[in-house]
Homo-oligomer: A and B are copies of this chain.
Amino acid sequence: MALASTDEKNVALLTAAELLVERAAEILDANARDLAAAEADGMAASAVDRLRLTEARIDGMAGGLRQVAALPDPVGDVLDGTRRPNGLEIRRVRVPLGVVAVIYENRPNVTSDAAGICVKAGNAALLRGSGSALHSNRAVADVLRDGMVKAGLPADAVLLVDDVSHEAAVEVMQLTEYVDCLIPRGGHALIQSIRDNATVPVVIDGDGNCHVYVDERADPEVALRIAVNAKTSRTSVCNAAESLIVHEAMADAFLPRVAEALAAQGVELVGNDGARQRVPTMGAATDDDFGREYLDLKLSVAVVPSLDAAIDHVNRFGTGHTEAIVTTDLAHAQRFTNEVDAAVVIVNASTRFTDGERFGFGAEIGISTQKLHARGPMGLRELTTYKYVVWGDGQIVE
Residues of chain A whose beta carbon lies under 8 Å from any beta carbon of chain B: 2-3, 82, 84, 88, 90, 97-98, 176, 180-181, 195-196, 199, 201-203, 219, 221-222, 225-226, 229-230, 233, 333, 337-339, 341-350, 352-354, 358-360, 370-373, 375-376, 385-398
Closest residue on chain B to residue A239 by CB atoms: B397
**B353, A233: Cβ atoms closer than 8 Å:** no
Give Cα A80–Cα B393 distance, bound, in whole angstroms.
34
The residues of B that contact A202 with a CB separation of less than 8 Å are: 201
Q: How many protomers of this protein does the assembly include?
A: 2
5 A-B residue pairs with Cβ-Cβ distance under 8 Å, sorted by A, are A98-B371, A230-B396, A344-B388, A348-B391, A371-B385
The residues of B that contact A391 with a CB separation of less than 8 Å are: 333, 346-349
Interface centre among A195, A225, A347, A396 (most CB of B within 10 A): A396
Among candidates B2, B219, B341, B372, residue contacting A2 with C-beta atoms closer than 8 Å: B341
Mostly helix, strand, loop or mixed at chain A's interface? Answer: mixed
**B339, A371: Cβ atoms closer than 8 Å:** no
**A203, B394: Cβ atoms closer than 8 Å:** no
CB distance from A308 to the nearest CB of B (A): 13
Among candidates B201, B233, B341, B389, residue contacting A397 with C-beta atoms closer than 8 Å: B233
The residues of B that contact A395 with a CB separation of less than 8 Å are: 348-350, 353
**B389, A337: Cβ atoms closer than 8 Å:** yes
Give Cα A235–Cα B221 distance, bound, in whole angstroms.
68
Interface centre among A82, A98, A338, A394 (most CB of B within 10 A): A394
Among candidates B3, B229, B396, residue contacting A226 with C-beta atoms closer than 8 Å: B396
The residues of B that contact A350 with a CB separation of less than 8 Å are: 395-397
Give Cα A82–Cα B362 distance, bound, in whole angstroms.
14
CB distance from A212 to the nearest CB of B (A): 11
**B397, A348: Cβ atoms closer than 8 Å:** no
Closest residue on chain B to residue A381 by CB atoms: B80
Among candidates B82, B376, B388, B390, residue contacting A388 with C-beta atoms closer than 8 Å: B376
The residues of B that contact A353 with a CB separation of less than 8 Å are: 88, 390, 392, 395, 397
Give Cα A265–Cα B35 distance, bound, in whole angstroms.
71
The residues of B that contact A233 with a CB separation of less than 8 Å are: 396-398
Give Cα A386–Cα B359 distance, bound, in whole angstroms.
15
Closest residue on chain B to residue A389 by CB atoms: B337
The residues of B that contact A180 with a CB separation of less than 8 Å are: 371-372
Closest residue on chain B to residue A226 by CB atoms: B396
The residues of B that contact A394 with a CB separation of less than 8 Å are: 219, 221-222, 225-226, 348-349
CB distance from A207 to the nearest CB of B (A): 14
Interface centre among A225, A226, A372 (most CB of B within 10 A): A372
CB distance from A332 to the nearest CB of B (A): 13
Give Cα A353–Cα B2 distance, bound, in whole angstroms.
25
Interface centre among A90, A196, A230, A395 (most CB of B within 10 A): A395
Closest residue on chain B to residue A197 by CB atoms: B199
CB distance from A97 to the nearest CB of B (A): 5
